[in-house]
Amino acid sequence: MPQDNAARILIIDDEPIVRQTVERALSPVYEIQTLPSSEKLEQTFQSFLPDLIILDVRMPQEDGWHLCGRLRRDKRFDVIPVVFLSAMSDKASVRKGFSSGGDFYLPKPFDIYELKRAVEIFIGRKHRYPAGD
């Protein structure tokens, strides 16, 4: 069980198996919430403002790049680090991930330890990038 003041992570991926695997790996340390798409994102943010978002790129309604760009343009959420997970592992996709405002791009398949390490880096960095007023 995570501690009361544990960092919050939101996982948005349309693949149930990826959501489950990542949640299982991170839930002992972090408070986790998962979404299959960006549809209920606003609603989720009202009760669960994450410290980090793990975001799939290819999703049926709104793709991860578009969603990330939308978050970056919103002053309320533009400081939340975004880690992309994607099966699109060509360089053009990585480039697009970074240019949409992503902080990290982890191409699928990935080792769960790689993801844990990336999460630790960004959660640990949070105190250096406090949210604005």
Cα dihedral 13, 16, 21, 22 in deg (nearest 10): 20
**Binder among 60, 109, 130, 132 for other proteins (CB under 8 A):** 109
**10-49 binders of other proteins (CB under 8 A):** 17-18, 21-22
Minimum distance from CB of 73 to other proteins (Å)? 23
Stretch that binds other proteins, among 43-51, 59-67, 69-77, 106-114 (CB under 8 A): 106-114
Instruction: Please check whether residue 90 is in contact with residue 68, taking contact to mean a CB–CB distance below 8 angstroms.
Output: no
Give the separation between CA 83 and CA 12, rounded to whole angstroms: 10
Please choose, out of 33-41, 63-71, 90-98, 123-131, the segment that lies near other proteins by the rule CB under 8 A: 90-98
Run of H or E residues at 55 = strand 52-56
Q: Which of the stretches 40-48, 71-79, 92-100, 125-133 binds other proteins when contact is defined by CB under 8 A?
A: 92-100
Cis peptide bond prior to 81, omega within 30° of 0: no
